[in-house]
């Protein structure tokens, strides 16, 4: 806390905005130089040895991982801006490190970036060994976002952000009244009240961030294994290490079948979903009912409504005790299945299993639907944990590119894969491309950039909005990645990315201008992103939408009550099955504590703050990937 406060004061004194966009220079050799710089920067950011938490200055860190930070999206006047800049808590999670590793591999395999050392990759692969579900007594590849700590009382492994716990514990000891007084004296009254609210919400956050394994991390790990299988000759030690950590991939697909969201099933452990999911997904679901088709989708959490009753109170608990569907998680699910089959990592007969094939087909169709229908105009709900639509587009495009590349080698192993390639190709080249081009912002004649929302919601003393573009680098890199992954195919003989013949001129121009922006501005903006976030980000994302299933079950286990612990109620509050739209419209007229918010006006549209995860290394590596791919792209 003292540390935090010091940062704050330093920032008040030292902050200088240093954006000097260059306009008319041509990109070229500069790309090569930038790729090299970014490569070395990312390499340097990898944690080289384990470090313990030494309060209050040093966070717990683990060898092989890359830094990511928990921040809060404070925005508004100067004090809130400064607090956003200063506040960060180091976080170790599997997602960040696995993605950075995949980007390093892809930038080398499909772009012109240097080859990472087998050591660098190996050390990251090894670091995520700790993220396999430890509550199962068999080998499995069901992964958790955070590392797991053993709780002696409940005999359960619990996954949570260790440093955030440390931070709140430390802050709990600190005399908050004292800090508030200082802040008020300095004229930071807003901050003082925020500190007070933050401390009050401490238990809520600590409780919300005790989570089960999830299909996102699970399939990101499978995707990483698939890439390493393709690149085994270049990274033999890493490949072997990955295989030795993942000896039972069957567990992934068994899990997928067990936990898939099946709204039309009679099984009430999996036919009920978070009311926020139902709100954005319902038109897609209603259509299935009208067409008399069954449906099964990749959900976020690896837990069902039976298990949450027993595991929830022990700290392995889906937030709000209910599963949801997040389009980004779904995209990683589809990529994991596609790449593990095509790379030969899993049994090629996998999709002979009708149930898996259905989940694969239905989830791919969900992705296409989300792209075509603008996330039902509710990206806040459809991209519940991963707010960047550009990142989502890139994740979807990776599946298409994988299928395209494989098609060049020979027929795909299943007709359903041809279908997925064609349907994703159509929406990526159509609506996705148009949406990305629409979002580009010119910066002179020779550059364009893309902004999401981080840093674009501050106010000056006259209440005028200040645009700081703190996620501009990340968003621009992701826009390039989405477009170039969609419109080029890797040719394994020439080792170039070849632009497709039908690529529109605007796509080529936009990619080049965006790359030009990146090379000239790479170190002039904050390298921030909101690659992950808490699901609740202000009123539109509260789980206060219509439900038709509410149950309160008090935990049965006598053990805890005997030990004098209060039994907690595991409350289920969700939408079961699929109901006609007219019936849903009736429900929408009722009050669910509040009237369900129908529209979303962006994350800068209201003053609330919420936790997000920012990884500078991830911004650098995705920028490197974008530039390495641009410089390796050629016409046929
Ligand atoms: C593993 O756990 C299951 C369920 O708790 C139990 O039935 C089984 O006997 C255990 N197996 C081993 C080898 O410990
Ligand atoms: C272990 O679980 C119990 C019961 O939920 C909880 O009260 C306790 O704080 C946990 N211990 C640790 C170290 O987290
Ligand atoms: C906290 O600081 C305030 C103001 O300095 C003081 O009045 C109060 O007694 C302190 N509380 C504790 C528990 O030390
Ligand atoms: C692999 O995982 C499945 C569950 O999906 C389990 O039943 C099986 O015992 C595991 N096999 C091994 C060898 O651990
Ligand atoms: C979902 O899968 C089922 C079974 O394969 C199929 O009949 C249905 O049309 C699919 N729906 C979508 C939207 O993919
Ligand atoms: C997509 O949805 C967002 C958020 O509701 C909205 O602001 C935007 O205008 C929509 N875009 C289109 C093309 O409909
Ligand atoms: C792109 O912008 C045009 C013009 O504003 C709009 O009509 C169109 O719906 C947008 N397309 C997408 C996919 O956002
Ligand atoms: C800015 O907005 C705040 C809150 O709405 C208001 O209190 C303040 O007077 C405004 N300042 C100016 C200069 O308009």
**Residue 307 Cα, ligand 5 centroid: separation in angstroms?**
27
pLDDT in tens, 166-216: 887 777 666 666 666 766 676 666 777 777 777 777 777 777 788 999 999
What is the rounded CA–CA span in Å between residue 106 and residue 35? Answer: 13
| Residue recorded with tokens 């005399």 | 175
What is the rounded CA–CA span in Å between residue 85 and residue 11? Answer: 8
pLDDT in tens, 568-607: 557 888 999 999 999 999 999 988 878 899 999 999 988 8
What residue's CA is closest to ligand 2, atom 3?
153
What is the rounded CA–CA span in Å between residue 506 and residue 276? Answer: 36
pLDDT in tens, 213-229: 999 999 999 999 999 99
Q: Is the Cβ atom of 361 under 6 angstroms away from ligand 5?
A: yes
Burial group, residue 100, by CB count within 10 angstroms (0-12, 13-18, 19+): buried
Decide if 90 contacts 67 (C-beta within 8 A). yes
What is the rounded CA–CA span in Å between residue 416 and residue 282? Answer: 24
What residue's CA is closest to ligand 8, atom 6?
463
Segment 504-526 shows an average pLDDT of: 96
pLDDT in the model for residue 518: 97
- Angle between helix 236-245 and 215-230 (nearest 10): 140
Which ligand has the minimum distance to the alpha carbon of residue 463? 8
In 438-491, the DSSP E strands lie at: 441-442, 448-449, 458-459, 465-466, 488-491
For residues 88 and 467, which has the higher predicted lDDT (pLDDT)? 467
Provide the pairing of β-strand 496-499 with 633-634.
Answer: parallel
Predicted TM-score (pTM) of the model is 0.92
Q: Is the Cβ atom of 177 under 6 angstroms away from ligand 3?
A: yes
What residue's CA is closest to ligand 2, atom 6?
153
Burial group, residue 202, by CB count within 10 angstroms (0-12, 13-18, 19+): middle
C-alpha distance from residue 17 to each of 98, 135, 360, 524, 526 (Å): 32, 48, 47, 8, 10
pLDDT in the model for residue 200: 75
Q: Which of 135, 151, 564, 570 to mutate to test the pocket of ligand 2 (most atoms within 8 A of CB)?
A: 151
């Amino acid at each position: 806390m003292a540390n935090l406060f010091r940062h704050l004061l330093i920032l008040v004194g030292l902050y200088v905005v240093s954006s000097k966009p260059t306009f008319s220079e041509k990109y070229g050799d500069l790309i090569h130089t930038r790729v090299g710089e970014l490569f070395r920067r990312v390499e340097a950011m990898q944690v080289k040895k384990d470090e313990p938490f030494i309060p209050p200055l040093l966070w717990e860190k683990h060898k092989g991982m890359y830094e990511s930070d928990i921040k809060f999206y404070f925005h508004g006047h100067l004090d809130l801006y400064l607090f956003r800049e200063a506040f960060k808590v180091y976080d170790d999670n599997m997602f960040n490190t696995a993605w950075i590793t995949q980007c390093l591999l892809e930038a080398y395999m499909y772009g012109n970036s240097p080859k990472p050392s087998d050591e660098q990759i190996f050390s990251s692969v090894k670091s995520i060994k700790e993220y396999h579900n430890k509550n199962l007594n068999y080998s499995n590849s069901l992964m958790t976002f955070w590392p797991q700590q053993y709780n002696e009382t409940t005999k359960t492994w619990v996954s949570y952000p260790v440093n955030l716990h440390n931070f709140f514990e430390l802050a709990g000891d600190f005399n908050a009244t004292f800090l508030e007084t200082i802040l008020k004296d300095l004229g930071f009254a807003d901050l003082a009240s925020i500190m007070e609210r933050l401390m009050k919400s401490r238990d809520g956050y600590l409780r919300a961030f005790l989570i089960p394994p999830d299909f996102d991390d699970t399939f990101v790990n499978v995707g990483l294994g698939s890439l390493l299988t393709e690149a085994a000759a270049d990274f033999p030690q890493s490949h072997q290490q990955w295989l030795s950590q993942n000896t039972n991939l069957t567990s992934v697909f068994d899990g997928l079948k067990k936990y898939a969201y099946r709204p039309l099933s009679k099984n009430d452990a999996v036919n009920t979903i978070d009311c926020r999911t139902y709100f954005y997904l319902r038109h897609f679901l209603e259509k299935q009912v009208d067409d008399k088709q069954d449906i099964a989708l990749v959900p976020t959490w690896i837990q069902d409504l039976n298990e949450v009753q027993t595991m929830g109170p022990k700290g392995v608990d889906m937030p709000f005790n209910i599963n949801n569907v997040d389009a980004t998680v779904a995209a990683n699910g589809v990529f994991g299945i596609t790449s593990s089959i095509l790379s030969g990592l899993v049994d090629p007969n996998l999709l002979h299993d009708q149930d898996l094939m259905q989940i694969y087909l239905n989830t791919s169709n969900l992705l296409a639907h989300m792209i075509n229908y603008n996330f039902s105009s509710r990206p806040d709900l459809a991209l519940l944990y991963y707010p960047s639509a550009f990142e989502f587009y890139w994740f979807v495009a990776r599946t298409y590119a994988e299928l395209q590349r494989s098609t060049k080698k020979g027929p795909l192993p299943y007709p359903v894969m041809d279908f997925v390639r064609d349907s994703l190709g159509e929406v990526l080249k159509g609506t996705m491309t148009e949406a990305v081009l629409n979002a580009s912002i010119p910066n002179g004649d020779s550059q364009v950039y893309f902004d999401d929302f981080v840093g674009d919601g501050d106010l000056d003393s006259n209440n005028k909005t200040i645009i700081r573009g703190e996620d501009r680098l990340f968003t621009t890199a992701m826009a390039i990645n989405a477009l170039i992954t969609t419109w080029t195919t890797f040719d394994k003989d020439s080792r170039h990315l070849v632009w497709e013949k039908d690529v529109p001129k605007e796509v080529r121009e936009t990619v080049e201008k965006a790359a030009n922006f990146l090379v000239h501005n790479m170190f002039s903006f904050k390298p921030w992103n909101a690659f992950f976030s808490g699901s609740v980000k202000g009123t539109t994302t509260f789980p206060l939408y219509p439900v038709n299933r509410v149950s309160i079950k008090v935990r049965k286990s006598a053990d805890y009550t005997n030990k004098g612990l209060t039994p907690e109620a595991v409350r289920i509050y969700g939408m079961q099955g699929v109901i006609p739209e007219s019936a849903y419209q009736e429900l929408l007229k009722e009050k669910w504590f509040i009237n369900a918010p129908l529209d979303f006006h962006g994350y800068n549209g209201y003053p609330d703050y919420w936790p997000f995860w920012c990884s500078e290394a991830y911004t650098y590596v995705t920028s490197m990937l974008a530039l390495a791919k641009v410089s390796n792209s050629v016409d046929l």
